[in-house]
Amino acid sequence: MFGGQPPLWKFMDSIRSEGLQQGEEALSCPEEGLPRPSDSSELVQDCLQQFKVTVAQLQQIQASLLGSMEQALRGQASPVPAVRMLPTYVGSTPHGTEQGDFVVLELGATGASLRVLWVTLTGIEGHRVEPRSQEFVIPQDVMLGTGQQLFDFAAHCLSEFLDAQPVSKQGLQLGFSFSFPCHQTGLDRSTLISWTKGFRCSGVEGQDVVQLLRDAIQRQGAYNIDVVAVVNDTVGTMMGCELGARPCEVGLVVDTGTNVCYMEEARDVAVLDEDRGRVCVSVEWGSFSDDGALGPVLTTFDHTLDHESLNPGAQRFEKMIGGLYLGELVRLVLAHLTRRGVLFRGCPSPALLSQGSVLLEHVAEMEDPSAGAARVHAILQDLGLSPEASDVELVQRVCAAVCTRAAQLCAAALAAVLSRLQHSREQQTLQVAVATGGRVCERHPRFCSILQGTVMLLAPECDVSFIPSADGGGRGVAMVTAVAARLAAHRRLLEETLAPFRLNHDQLAAVQAQMREAMAKGLRGEASSLRMLPTYVRATPDGSERGDFLALDLGGTNFRVLLVRVTTCVQITSQIYSIPESVAQGSGQQLFDHIVDCIVDFQQKQGLSGQSLPLGFTFSFPCKQLGLDQGILLNWTKGFNASDCEGQDVVSLLREAITRRQAVELNVVAIVNDTVGTMMSCGYEDPRCEIGLIVGTGTNACYMEELRNVAGVPGDSGHMCINMEWGAFGDDGSLDTLSTCFDASVDQASINPGKQRFEKMISGMYLGEIVRHILLHLTSLGVLFRGQQTQRLQTRDIFKTKFLSEIESDSLALRQVRAILEDLGLPLTSDDTLMVLEVCQAVSQRAAQLCGAGVAAVAEKIRENRGLEELAVSVGVDGTLYKLHPHFSSLVAATVRELAPRCAVTFLQSEDGSGKGAALVTAVACRLAQSTRV
């Protein structure tokens, strides 16, 4: 029935001589002193009674195993959990769309044999191609030899099998079913913890078995095989299960050994540090040996069996259930009853007294009611015994007792797993399918029915269907391999896509150098993408400024009107007003009328009506200034496009609007860029603040330049703040080598194509769009969202830059990330979530590094201007991207340290916005005006 299986115990005999001696010593047949019939029935009773397990005991095992499982899941180290709960890196059950040809190598599931399969997955539900397979018997000396011998043998079997198949020698993908307890650290990385089930090859425990197999295949040299995935047999069993009405989320194997795997919530698996989705966990329940729970059901035969096994004290639960042990338990009972004269008239045979002589196949056959007495008789005779009719009947009862207990114990353990599932899913009634595999499940006549009946008794709230695995789990292994191969291919495509975003030191140093060159040209008034606009701000505040000022702040996320009171400290009252897109992109007159309306409203609310306070206007767009209160708008940026403003003096436009709205009097003193306002605002606290940086909707920087370097402004001494308008850096094509096709798409779709190229790679208005374009591309490659393009993702600006900040936040669990993405209507799998996160990281990292290269260029310029060996300088920073993104600021700082090592650059975040700075510029101007009047 189970032909071709050398009994594992046989060669244990050769290493355990006591077994033989025991046998020889007891061989004589007692003529006298046989028990009387009544005694003998008591003896039988006593003996079989030991294998009876009560429902209470089963419930105790169920509860105790559940406790151990939960303890192991929590990662509790002490007391050492009785089961291992090993995560397998299989994160989802099959979709049914997996396809391709795969080689599967199975080692360890079925005794001393190894199986190679050729599995074809069609990707079409219900359409199966029968796998081709070949079984190889592992020679005894290999099973107990060196690891290299074992893996060389496996590689040899692979070649022999493949030689007979019409396949190419190249590019084969292999799934490795390795059924021993392993610590997996990836789909293709798995370290053997300890051998079980009669294997004991040296030099393998503690090693990555995938690597050992790869090395052996390479030594063999015949085939180019990529070992893509490694799985436990239980996982193969679960994954190969036909897609049915309910999810198959448990894989049970009872073969030489026994074990189960199931889909656990990843957040409950402490070692994974993962909070999304589910992961398949191999329970390794064979090692369950809780004394409290198992003690009462352990028989003297279990103790003897354990004592004489290759691994005494280990795998105690497996030794009561696994096929490797059932025959041996039966043999021990029969030998005992024979010795006591109850069986075979007290005459044992040498075979009966030798370890491993009774095999699982014997037990299964003898217990099978349809086998008939003659068959049992024949098996016993083969063991050298002379059975009478009563012997035959008693032997059948012994087989039934041993197997019934095995099935009941297995059921108690399975009930524990089902309780766990039910608990973690928080479901009243759990509906689940259990895939079953292994020879005991498949071929033992009563095992499955007892198992199922007992599970119903112990877990009545679970609605379980049992589905036998069709081909020993080979298909499931191929499924995992297909998924692993697909994930590996997707990862390669993801890496290729993101590679242009990963800038190295040389590329960043080149950006810094180009920026320096463009700055110099711009300052000289030569053609350059950096305009280097003089701002007429000549000094940072000195603390002597005083008075009440109004300020406007236009051009960032919010439009604000502020009242700034400068005494020994600065007090700010402000209000945010919205600028509807229709106004930002309507006529200039509308825009400035709207601004004045907001000021009037603010004045009324603050009780300032009728007062003509000096006003500082933060206007965050490129302006050519001819003085502090004169700024000609060069061009709109960042989504503003009001007509009839470009080429006009913005202060005049504001004054005209004030005149139109006759009720109000305002004294516009200064117009400042937001970078300047920010620098001044931070400069009030720190006199070393000589750089202003904005990374928000747009990006830009300003800094204090030597006046002698500024063409077009008279004077050779002192400083002047220069608004770099670095957002336009690269508009002359100098950044083209760094620009990706995604940048090009974002630029093309913007309202100012070809303009603000640096800004479009860095600032908040564009990063979300870059991410969206990458996601579209990855979807078209089938890497994301199962290749399904969604309408939502086609929508412009749907992916806000604030999502990048949220998604990349360390404090956010991946499941929350998924929720954000699901809110966008994206059909995510858990693999997708991680990929989207990686895309966001690549895009924001490049942005931060480019920004850092810019700051490094500015700091170096200041250092060189002043002829200093070392420069200590502060940068005042504002902008939602810089402030809200969890890693942006530290990446900028790291890049500056790398590219400008001689500058100690400190970053100060502006807390009050640039309005305070605009007020301070106004205050200085008023002070100067007063002093000239005096």
Q: Could you list the active site residues?
A: 560, 620, 674
Q: Near ligand BG6 by CB under 6 A, which window of 152-160, 565-573, 684-692, 872-880?
A: 872-880
Q: Which is nearer to ligand BG6, 21 or 557 (CB)?
A: 557
Interface with ligand BG6 in residues 647-706 (CB under 6 A): 674, 677, 694, 696-697
How many other C-beta atoms lie within 10 A of the C-beta of residue 49? 10
Q: What is the DSSP letter of 329?
A: H
Smaller CB separation from ligand BG6, 486 or 916: 916
Start-to-end CA distance of the chain, whole Å, equals: 116
What is the residue-wise DSSP string for 867-926? T-SSEEEEEEEE-HHHHHSTTHHHHHHHHHHHH-TTEEEEEEE-SS-SHHHHHHHHHHHH
Provide, rounded to whole angstroms, the least separation between the CB of residue 917 and ligand GLC. Answer: 12
Closer of 620 and 637 to ligand BG6 (Cβ): 620
DSSP 44-100: HHHHHHTT---HHHHHHHHHHHHHHHHHHHTT--SSPPSS--EE-S--S---S--EE
Peptide bond into 79 cis (omega under 30): yes
> How many positions of this chain bind ligand BG6 (CB under 6 A)?
18
| Sites for ligand GLC among residues 259-288 (CB under 6 A) | 259, 284, 286
Checking phi first, is residue 300 left (phi over 0); if not, alpha (psi -120 to 50) or beta?
A: alpha
Cα–Cα distance for residue pair 400/556, rounded to 1 Å: 81
Distance of CA 46 to the CA centre of its chain: 55
Contact 77, 270 (CB under 8 A): no
Q: How far is the CB of 789 from ligand GLC (least distance, A)?
A: 33
**Which residues ranging from 99 to 118 are in contact with ligand GLC (CB under 6 A)?**
109
Distance separating alpha carbons of residues 324 and 315, to the nearest angstrom: 12
- Taking each helix axis from N to C end, the angle separating 17-25 and 8-15, rounded to the nearest 10 degrees, works out to 90
Handedness of CA 142, 148, 152, 154 (dihedral sign): positive
Nearer to ligand BG6, 355 or 763 (CB): 763
Residue 823 Cα distances to 799, 804, 840, angstroms: 11, 14, 17
In DSSP terms, 118 is beta-bridged to: 103, 132
Question: Which is nearer to ligand GLC, 620 or 895 (by Cβ)?
Answer: 620
Task: Enumerate the β-bridge partners of residue 704.
Answer: 721
User: Does 637 help bind ligand GLC (rule: CB under 6 A)?
Assistant: yes
**DSSP string for residues in 653-676:** HHHHHHHHSTT---EEEEEE-HHH
CA distance 242 to 351: 43
Residue of 503, 254, 488, 475 lying closest to 360 (CA atoms): 254
> Which one of 323, 327, 698, 852 is in contact with ligand GLC (CB under 6 A)?
698
* Binding partner at 622 among ligand GLC, ligand BG6, none, C-beta below 5 to 8 Å by kind: ligand GLC
Interface positions, 140-179, toward ligand GLC (CB under 6 A): 179
Three-state SS annotation for 195-237? CCCCCCCECCCCCEHHHHHHHHHHHHCCCCEEEEEEECHHHHH
Distances (CA, A) of 720 to 352, 432, 691, 794, 932: 103, 74, 12, 46, 20
Give me the torsion for CA of 406, 409, 411, 414, rounded to 10°.
-120
Helix (H) or strand (E) holding 28: none
750 lines the binding site for ligand BG6 (CB under 6 A): no
x/- mask, ligand GLC, residues 310-349, rule CB under 6 A, reads: --------x-------------------------------
| Residue 626 beta carbon to ligand GLC: minimum distance, rounded to whole angstroms | 17
Binding of ligand BG6 by 880 (CB under 6 A): yes
Element (H, E) at 623: strand 623-627
Interaction partner, residue 210 (ligand BG6, ligand GLC, none; CB < 5-8 Å by kind): none
Give which of 266, 186, 197, 268 is closest to 231, Cα–Cα: 186
In 794-850, the DSSP E strands lie at none
Q: Shortest distance, CB of residue 715 to ligand BG6, whole angstroms?
A: 28
Binding flag, residue 573, ligand BG6 (CB under 6 A): no
In the complex with ligand BG6, the residue whose CB is nearer, 149 or 700, is 700
**Closer residue to ligand BG6, CB minimum distance, 392 or 694:** 694
Q: Which of residues 406-435 bind ligand GLC (CB under 6 A)?
A: none
> Tokens 């103790």 identify what position?
303
Q: Which does 730 bind (CB under 5 to 8 A by kind): ligand BG6, ligand GLC, none?
A: none
Using Cβ positions, the residue closest to ligand BG6 within the complex turns out to be 696
- Per-residue x/- mask for ligand BG6, residues 511 to 550, rule CB under 6 A? ----------------------------------------
Q: Does 766 bind ligand GLC (CB under 6 A)?
A: no
Q: Per CB under 6 A, does 523 bind ligand GLC? A: no
Closer residue to ligand BG6 (CB): 474 or 913: 913
What is the number of alpha carbons within 13 Å of residue 62 lying toward its C-beta?
23
CB of 268 to ligand GLC, least distance (A): 21
CB of 662 to ligand BG6, least distance (A): 29
Span interacting with ligand GLC, options 35-43, 57-65, 667-675, 841-849, rule CB under 6 A = 667-675
Angle at 653 between CA 652 and CA 656, to 5 degrees: 80
Stretch that binds ligand BG6, among 90-98, 306-314, 554-562, 899-907 (CB under 6 A): 554-562
Q: Which of 81, 94, 181, 631 binds ligand GLC (CB under 6 A)?
A: 181
Please say which residue, 410 or 615, places its beta carbon nearer to ligand BG6: 615
**Footprint on residues 696-735 left by ligand BG6 (CB under 6 A):** 696-697
Q: Does 768 bind ligand BG6 (CB under 6 A)?
A: no
Backbone torsion region of residue 261, taken as left when φ is above 0, otherwise alpha when ψ lies between -120 and 50, otherwise beta:
beta
Instruction: Tell me which of ligand GLC, ligand BG6, none is bound by residue 257, counting a contact when its beta carbon lies within the kind-specific cut-off of 5 to 8 angstroms.
Output: ligand GLC
Show the binding pattern over residues 717-736: x = contacts ligand GLC (CB under 6 A), - = does not. --------x-x---------
Query: Binding segment for ligand BG6 among 295-303, 315-323, 372-380, 909-917 (CB under 6 A)?
Result: 909-917
72 binds, among ligand BG6, ligand GLC, none (CB under 5 to 8 A by kind): none
618 binds ligand BG6 (CB under 6 A): yes
Instruction: State how far the Cα of 444 lies from the Cα of 437, in Å rounded to an integer.
Output: 12
Distance CA 420, CA 411 (A): 14
Q: Does 232 bind ligand GLC (CB under 6 A)?
A: yes
The reply to whether 878 sits near ligand BG6 by the rule CB under 6 A is: yes
725 binds, among ligand BG6, ligand GLC, none (CB under 5 to 8 A by kind): ligand GLC
Among 106, 743, 759, 808, binds ligand GLC (CB under 6 A): 759
- Rounded distance between C-alpha atoms, residue 165 and residue 625, angstroms: 80
842 contacts 502 by C-beta, under 8 angstroms: yes
**Coil, helix or strand for 863?**
helix
535 makes contact with ligand GLC (CB under 6 A): no
* CA 551 centroid distance within chain: 48
Residues 186-205 that bind ligand GLC (CB under 6 A): 196-197
Q: Pick one of ligand GLC, ligand BG6, none as the site partner of residue 179 (Cβ within 5 to 8 A by kind).
A: ligand GLC
* Residues found near ligand BG6 in the complex (CB under 6 A): 553, 555-557, 618, 620, 674, 677, 694, 696-697, 764, 878-880, 913-915
* Residues found near ligand GLC in the complex (CB under 6 A): 109, 179-181, 196-197, 232-234, 253, 255, 257-259, 284, 286, 318, 555-556, 620-622, 637-638, 673-675, 694, 696, 698-700, 725, 727, 759
